[in-house]
Structure 1
């Protein structure tokens, strides 16, 4: 079932969903099941599965030259989605990126997941790999998520890259995209960010999932800006509980989001990471309760493969 249908069927009641990471290469899928099992009592209608593009590593040859090697550290998004749908009978949503894919790769990826009966995707540009400062697309790939959304939308109309195909089948994907309550790190302004978000909706996107935020007013202001610009699709808030002191520096640096002063000082004063985890859970519970009162469609949690704190939050809400 499509995400938009799940929301419609909920009749205004908030749904629970979460996002998981594929395991590192060499690990089996049981680690994924172990992170999902504790959360199934909250009846998630769908589970997001991230896609991690390849990275480059350099190896010095006997000649002294450097050889560039492509390494994929977290493969398996499509297989994990198939396993989730088979084991739990909930909708699994693969992320699909511009980075690391040619347009033909994208089409083949979409054909594969369509054959598996997967009806939802999240279309993202993706970040620059560690060895690059700025995002660089594949030679025959998409530069922007707006283009990726258009390709998925075209498949929904039966338009493939090979224009000579006869009697081509239409796919029926529900397309999710990312929204940034504190704007994308590369956007020159919030207005420009909303402009391109609106373009993705125009190109065929059906709903928005936000980047994590720790101040609900940022989300409320973002939704208000979107609605003012005529964006009417569901806007799902993305939440993540702080779990370690290290994240006080890591989260703002990696995700370019602000942490409220009250949260920062509570974490700074905590005696250890066990105390930090409890602070993060309580903060996220309060965020969630306020968001539920505002009648959000879904509470979406970035679990990062850790179920314990997400379960504690869900127990207080659902």
Structure 2
């Protein structure tokens, strides 16, 4: 079932969903099941599975030259989605990136998903790899998420890259895209960011999932700006409970997300990470309850492979 259909069928009730990471190469699928099992009591209608593009490392050869090596640390997105749908009977939503894919790679990826009965995807540009200062699109790939959305929509119309194909079958993907309540790190302003977000919707995306935020006012302001610009699709907030003191520096640096002063000072004064974890849970519970009271259709939690704190939040909210 499509995400938009899940929302419509909920009749105003706020749904619970979450996102997982594929395990590191060498681990098995049980690690995924172990992180999902504790959260199934909250009846998630769908679970997102991230996609991690290849990274580059360099090895020095005896000649002194450097050899570039492609490393994929977290493979398995498609297999995990299939396993989730088979084991739990809920919709699995794979992330699809521009980075690391040619348009042909993307088309083949989508064909595999369609064969597996997967009806939803999240279309993302993706971040720069560690060896890049700025994002570089793949040669013959999509440069922007809006272009990726267009390619998916074309496939939904039965339009493939090869014009010579006859009697093509159309796919039927529901497309989600990312939104940034505090703007994307590379965007010059929030208004310009929303301008391009509107383009993704115009191209055919059906819903928005936001970057994490820790101040609900920023989310509500973002939604109001989107509505003012004519964006009417569901906007799903992304939430993440803090769990370590290091995240006070890591999250603002890596994601360009602000943390409220009150939350910062509570964590600064915490005696250890156990105390930080509890602060993060309580803060996220308060965020969640306010969002539910506001009639937000879905709360989407970034679990990062750990479910204990998400479960503690779910028990208080759902």
TM-score by length of 2: 1.00
- Please say if 1:29 is aligned against 2:50: no
Residue in 2 aligned with 1:153?
153
* Aligned equivalents of 2:110, 2:82: Cα separation in 1: 13
Aligned ranges 1:1-318 → 2 under 5 Å: 1-318=1-318
> SS at 1:62's partner residue?
coil
Provide the alpha-carbon RMSD of the alignment. Answer: 0.3
* Aligned equivalents of 1:160, 1:17: Cα separation in 2: 32
> SS at 1:148's partner residue?
helix
> SS at 2:304's partner residue?
coil
Q: CA deviation at 1:294?
A: 0.6
What whole-Å deviation, never above 9, does each CA across 1:188-209 have from its counterpart, x for those lacking one? 1111101100000000000000
Query: After TM superposition, what 4+ stretches of structure 1 lie above 2 angstroms from structure 2?
Result: none
* Aligned equivalents of 2:172, 2:153: Cα separation in 1: 9
> SS at 1:93's partner residue?
strand
* Aligned equivalents of 2:143, 2:84: Cα separation in 1: 31
* Aligned equivalents of 1:168, 1:204: Cα separation in 2: 20
TM-score by length of 1: 1.00
What whole-Å deviation, never above 9, does each CA across 1:118-151 have from its counterpart, x for those lacking one? 0000000000000110000111101100000000
How many residue pairs match? The answer is: 318
> SS at 2:177's partner residue?
strand
> SS at 1:56's partner residue?
strand
Which consecutive residues of structure 2, in runs of 5 or more, have no partner in the other structure? none
* Aligned equivalents of 2:256, 2:48: Cα separation in 1: 22
What whole-Å deviation, never above 9, does each CA across 1:44-86 have from its counterpart, x for those lacking one? 0000000000000000001010000000000000000000000
> SS at 1:25's partner residue?
coil
* Aligned equivalents of 1:61, 1:113: Cα separation in 2: 40
* Aligned equivalents of 2:194, 2:157: Cα separation in 1: 26
Q: CA deviation at 1:31?
A: 0.4
* Aligned equivalents of 1:190, 1:260: Cα separation in 2: 19
Q: CA deviation at 1:164?
A: 1.2
What whole-Å deviation, never above 9, does each CA across 1:87-132 have from its counterpart, x for those lacking one? 0000000000000000000000000000000000000000000011
* Aligned equivalents of 2:258, 2:283: Cα separation in 1: 14
* Aligned equivalents of 1:143, 1:191: Cα separation in 2: 21
* Aligned equivalents of 1:204, 1:14: Cα separation in 2: 24
* Aligned equivalents of 2:159, 2:204: Cα separation in 1: 14
* Aligned equivalents of 1:168, 1:214: Cα separation in 2: 46
